[in-house]
Amino acid sequence: MIERRFPRSLLIAGAVFLAALVLPAFVSGYGIRILNLALISAIAVIGLNFAFGYAGLITLAQAGFVGCGAYISAILSTSMGLTPWLSIPAAVVGSGIIAVAIGLPMLRLKGHYLALATLGFNVSFVIVATNWKTVMGGTDGISGIPPLALPGWPLATDHRYFYVLWGALAIATWCAWRIRNSHIGLAMIAVRDDEIATGAASVGVTRIKIQAFALSAIYAGLAGALFAHMTNFVAPDDFALSHSVIYLAMLIIGGEGSILGAIAGAIIVTFMPELMRDLGTAYLIVFGALMLLILIFLPKGLLSLVTIVGQRLKGRTTHAR
């Protein structure tokens, strides 16, 4: 469930990342956009993995933090005229600060109380974004968000932006891996596994929870800012509560507590609607039912299927011997 230090699997993950470099050459113009959206979701879900997968905090606010990042970067780069290279880091820091501010009081709550409090945050975010027209644009949203650009080389096309996202995801994954194996990551897992045991120093527990929450918001903020500069438009719609549920579903379906699971879940769930386009109206019924089936029959996520199949295969070869 939780990755240990495996240099080799890291190596292979690295190889997959490298192999992904040539992916754009094989993907149609439309597919690359979906792929980009999947990479953005993956960053948000890796973040969610800190709060939920490691520290065990049930949060339904991830889309709200993605929204914070998207709006901060959008506002800074439009009305303030900041370059995206500065507005994106500002969005990342800003989302983290907001998370600490709301985490301080909220993280005293546990279980479904925390779920409801974070749900309340997400709902409130949408209400504020919808009504604070002068700054956040209301339902009209914010448009005219500039794309990222290198000097003389705009990154406006989806194919070029893929590499930006690919790089961001690689760095995000690497950082997540490092944090996971640092004392911070271990402390988070300790908090989840036995809150009472580590609770001896209860101040420490709250601090660790806030760290996990802030990390998840920082990743969300990065995802949101990258999203804003790809679509060049943000509106409250994209950060609604239902998206928070989807992020959680991505993590659970991929396999909670695992960075690769988070990435796989994000990719699979993003592509699912595309594979089921022909179902028309029935699509959401099938989608919901499929998710439910995965929850029931594969509680450790789709990646556990790979292990199960792997063990079966291994069992068979052993028998053959």
Partner 1 sequence: MSQQFIQLVVSGLAVGSVYALVGLAFIMVNEATGVVNFATGQMVTIGCFLAVTTGLQMNLPLAPAYVLALAAMALFGVAFYAIVFRPLQDRPVVTVIIGTVMIGIVIQNAALITWGSVPFRPRSPFGRQVIDVFGAALSAHALFVIVVSFLMIGLLYLFIYRTAIGARMRAVAQDRDAARLMGISVDRMFVLTWIIAGLLTGAAGILVGPMWFADVNMGDPIALKAFAAIIIGGFSSVPGAIVGGVLVGLAEMLGAAYISSTYKDGLVFLVMILFLLVRPEGIFGERIGQRA
Partner 2 sequence: MQSKRGFGRRKAIAGAAAATAGITIWSQRLSAQSGEIAVGAMVPVTGPFNVSGQQYHFSLQMAQDEINAKGGVAGKKLKIVFEDVKDSNSVAVNAYLKVVRDLNPPFVFLSSYTTQNLATEPEVTKAQIPCVYAGGGDALHLKKNPWMFRIRPYDGLQALALAKHATEGLGKKKIGIIYVQNDFGQPGAISADKVVKAAGAQVVGMEAYAFTDNDMSAQLQKLKNAGADCLICISYGKDGALILKLLKEMNIDIPVVISSGVMVPAARNLIAPDELARVNGVMDAYLAAERGPEVAAYIKTFKDRFKIEPDPFGSCYYDAAWILKQTLDKVGPDRTKIRDELKAVKGFKGVTNAFSTDADGNMVHSLAVFSIKPGTRDPVFIRTIAS
Euclidean distance between CA atoms 213 and 47, whole angstroms: 9
Nearest approach in angstroms of CB 284 to partner 2 is 8
- Least separation in angstroms between residue 189's CB and partner 2 is 17
Query: Of 263-302, which residues contact partner 2 (CB under 8 A)?
Result: 263-264, 267-268, 271, 273-275, 277, 280-281, 283, 302
C-alpha 218/C-alpha 195 separation (Å) is 24
The answer to the question of residue 58 lying near partner 1 (CB under 8 A) is yes
Q: Which of residues 75-134 bind partner 2 (CB under 8 A)?
A: 130-131, 133
Does residue number 105 form part of the binding site for partner 1 (CB under 8 A)? yes
55 binds partner 1 (CB under 8 A): no
Alpha-carbon distances, residue 284 vs 63, 254, 289 (angstroms): 20, 19, 8
Tell me, what amino acid is at 14?
G
Determine the Cα–Cα distance for residues 255 and 132; give it in Å rounded to an integer. Answer: 38
Q: Is-contact 224 61, C-beta < 8 A?
A: no
Query: 121 vs 213, which CB is nearer to partner 1?
Result: 121
Restricted to residues 236-265, the positions that interact with partner 2 (CB under 8 A) are 237-238, 258, 260-261, 263-264
Within 13 A of 299's CA, how many CA atoms are on the CB side? 1
Minimum Å distance from CB 123 to partner 1?
6
Beta-strand relationship, 149-150 and 153-154: antiparallel
Residue of 216, 149, 170, 129 whose CA lies nearest to 20? 170
Query: Which residues, in sequence order, are CB contacts of 242 under 8 Å at separation 6+?
Result: 63
Q: Which of 11, 23, 116, 150 binds partner 1 (CB under 8 A)?
A: 116
Q: Residue numbers of the site for partner 2 (CB under 8 A)?
A: 3-4, 6, 8-10, 12-13, 15-16, 19-20, 23, 26-31, 33-35, 37-38, 130-131, 133, 138-141, 143, 156-157, 231-233, 235, 237-238, 258, 260-261, 263-264, 267-268, 271, 273-275, 277, 280-281, 283, 302-303, 306-307, 310-311, 314
